[in-house]
């Protein structure tokens, strides 16, 4: 058979392409240009014609295996043809994206927008090819997600049938909270491990909750990376991303080992929030109040351990994990001016300080921070504080204390003075610690108030309103109603939030505006304690929420102290 080089130049495919363009060549001639050379006894043009004739309209779906069946086509030439087809398809798809191309979490959510309104929990699987084109969408299960119910074979059997390169799992939370639950994480772990073994990429696990969503893939991406499922032609895998993240975490842990705290008399987690903002890790929280547990778990249980609701006297030190810093706002009522001031003799409250001593003795942490009312400093002519110092020093701690006011140290417009007692086992570390300096108050009461408080917080007694209005000259100011009289704070600072908020109206700070007089809302009380905006209110009585925030700490003050503790421990 004559060779292509024996053909006159004017008739050769390559020369005609250069002279007249691609339109002057047939399909087989274009393929011949790509292959470049034939084999002994068969020139490249004949091989190209054979391929085109055999596969015709299936040419764009050619595989290496298909081409290896053609005489004269080896692995190198087969790869050359298939790669050229794949490259052309890739550019075409990017220029003319298909409706079923899933390139990001946004695309996957759009394909499952109906899940927003579902009253039951659904688990849906999107099966994709290597270019992230949707091959099939299938409901895997209906009902509460559980690793005992959702088996990997139900997910991966269709993937193998479809020759799917990757899958995306989409789950809905009718509760409205997109945070992954413990069951979600257990199912997620099993599926990505199974996918790695089978050879099918688990690309993402998305949770849809109303208009909010959570993407495991997105949570693992660095801020400087695009949240696309495919880049440089490579389909991402959650398993690989998790391994990368684990290596990053372990490397970071070697540089800076996290400092663990326990939070005793935790309430709703004010101290925990402050310390975690400063970079500490909370490993144990305890309080005996069941309503506090409701609020605490509502905010933290999905991401961390739940609050242990029990009398601290009944909690063995052996049940408490190892830690470096003990924190606790032990009961203040026995030492408060507002209480009976029984001190340590107040059984079940005043004597709980000695449970702190027990745990410090058993666990010997590096440091501690205790919080209480300002009056602890002068209670029983100072004898109470001397007993506290003596007990702590007997354990080998170096002690210091200071009274800090929220408006001076937390930039929150609330007049709240509390004593903070700090202790370190190491003298040098203690010498490095200092309480934070005063800062200028820049926030005002108005920064903490809501503009659209519910009508239920207003007092509708018109004579009472008129009486208050005459006594108050400033508008839109916060007041505190104490035993039948109104006291205005001339400095624009909220009076101290008390634990009695909501009980019969006494000690409830009041707001006067054009609509009338009202008490603070629970959200406003959270604002006056410096709780983050995303701190959630469970569906419990307002009186319980008032008491919880009244008994809590001012988070910004705790955070500033915690920053200085960490600096002393790590410098």
Phi, psi of 36 (to 5 degrees): 75, -45
> How much is the CA Rg of the chain, to the nearest whole Å?
35
Query: Counting beta carbons within 10 angstroms of the beta carbon of residue 553, is it exposed (0 to 12), middle (13 to 18) or buried (19 or more)?
Result: buried
Q: What is the DSSP string of 18-74?
A: HHH-GGGS-HHHHHHHHH---BTTB-HHHHHHHHHHHHGGGGGG--HHHHHTSTT--
3-state secondary structure of 205: strand
> Do residues 188 and 180 touch, judged by C-beta distance below 8 A?
yes
**Distance in angstroms (rounded) separating the CA atoms of residues 412 and 555:** 10
**Distance in angstroms (rounded) separating the CA atoms of residues 328 and 422:** 11
Could you identify the residue written with the tokens 């030190």?
317
Q: In what order do the strands lie in the sheet with 308-309?
A: 308-309, 281-287, 260-264, 325-328, 367-373, 417-424, 398-405
Task: Indicate if 282 belongs to the active site.
Answer: no
3-state secondary structure of 237: coil
CA distances from 284 to 139, 272, 353, 553 (A): 39, 10, 18, 18
Element (H, E) at 255: helix 238-255
Q: What's 394-436 look like in SS3?
A: HCCCEEEEEEEEHHHHCCCCECCEEEEEEEECCHHHHHHCCCC
Q: Annotated catalytic residue: which of 332, 448, 494, 525?
A: 332
**Distance in angstroms (rounded) separating the CA atoms of residues 209 and 220:** 20
Active site residues: 332
């Amino acid at each position: 058979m004559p060779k292509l080089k024996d053909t006159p130049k004017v008739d050769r495919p390559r020369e005609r392409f250069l002279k007249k363009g691609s339109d002057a060549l047939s399909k087989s001639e274009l393929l011949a240009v790509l292959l470049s050379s034939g084999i002994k006894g068969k020139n490249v043009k004949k091989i190209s014609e054979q391929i085109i004739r055999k596969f015709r309209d299936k040419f764009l779906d050619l595989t290496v295996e298909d081409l290896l069946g053609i005489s004269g086509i080896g692995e190198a030439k087969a790869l050359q043809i298939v790669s050229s087809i794949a490259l052309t398809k890739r550019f075409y798809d990017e220029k003319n994206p298909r409706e079923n191309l899933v390139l990001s979490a946004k695309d996957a959510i759009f394909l499952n927008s109906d899940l927003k309104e579902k009253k039951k929990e659904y688990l849906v699987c999107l099966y994709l090819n290597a270019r992230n084109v949707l091959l099939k969408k299938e409901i895997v299960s209906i009902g509460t997600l559980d690793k005992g119910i959702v088996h990997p074979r139900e997910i991966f059997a269709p993937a193998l049938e479809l020759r799917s390169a990757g899958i995306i799992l989409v789950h809905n939370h009718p509760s409205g909270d997109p945070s992954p639950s413990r069951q979600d994480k257990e199912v997620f772990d099993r599926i990505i491990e199974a996918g790695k073994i089978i050879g099918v990429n688990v690309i993402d696990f998305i949770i849809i909750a109303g208009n909010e969503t959570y993407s495991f893939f997105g949570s693992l991406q660095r801020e400087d990376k695009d949240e696309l499922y495919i880049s440089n032609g490579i389909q991402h895998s959650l398993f690989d991303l998790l391994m990368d993240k684990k290596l990053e975490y372990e490397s970071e842990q070697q540089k800076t080992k996290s400092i663990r705290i326990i939070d005793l008399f935790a309430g709703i987690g004010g101290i925990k929030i402050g310390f975690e903002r400063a970079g500490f890790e909370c490993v144990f929280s305890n309080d005996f109040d069941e309503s506090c547990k409701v609020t605490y778990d509502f905010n933290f249980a999905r991401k961390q351990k739940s609050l242990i609701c029990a009398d601290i006297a009944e909690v063995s030190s052996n049940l408490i994990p190892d830690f470096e810093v003990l924190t606790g706002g032990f009961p203040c009522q026995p030492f408060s001016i507002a209480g009976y001031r029984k001190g340590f003799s107040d059984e079940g409250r005043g004597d709980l300080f000695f449970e702190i001593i027990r745990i410090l003795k058993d666990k010997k942490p590096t440091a501690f921070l205790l919080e209480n009312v300002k009056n602890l400093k002068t209670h029983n002519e100072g004898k109470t504080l001397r007993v506290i110092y003596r007990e702590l020093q007997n354990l080998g701690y170096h002690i210091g204390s200071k009274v800090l006011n929220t408006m001076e140290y937390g930039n929150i417009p609330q007049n709240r003075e509390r004593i903070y007692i700090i202790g370190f086992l190491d003298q040098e570390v203690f010498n490095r610690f200092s309480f934070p300096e005063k800062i200028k108050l820049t926030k005002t009461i108005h920064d903490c108030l809501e503009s659209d408080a519910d009508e239920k917080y207003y007092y509708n007694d018109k004579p009472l309103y008129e009486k208050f209005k005459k006594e108050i000259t400033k508008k839109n100011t916060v007041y505190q109603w104490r035993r039948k009289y109104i006291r205005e704070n001339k400095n624009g600072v909220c009076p101290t939030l008390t634990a009695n908020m909501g009980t019969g109206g006494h000690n409830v700070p009041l707001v006067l505006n054009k609509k009338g007089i009202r008490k603070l809302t629970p959200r406003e009380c959270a604002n006056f304690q410096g709780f983050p905006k995303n701190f959630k209110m469970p569906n419990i009585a307002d009186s319980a929420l008032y008491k919880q925030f009244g008994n809590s700490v001012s988070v910004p003050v705790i955070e500033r102290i915690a920053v200085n503790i960490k600096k002393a421990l790590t410098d």
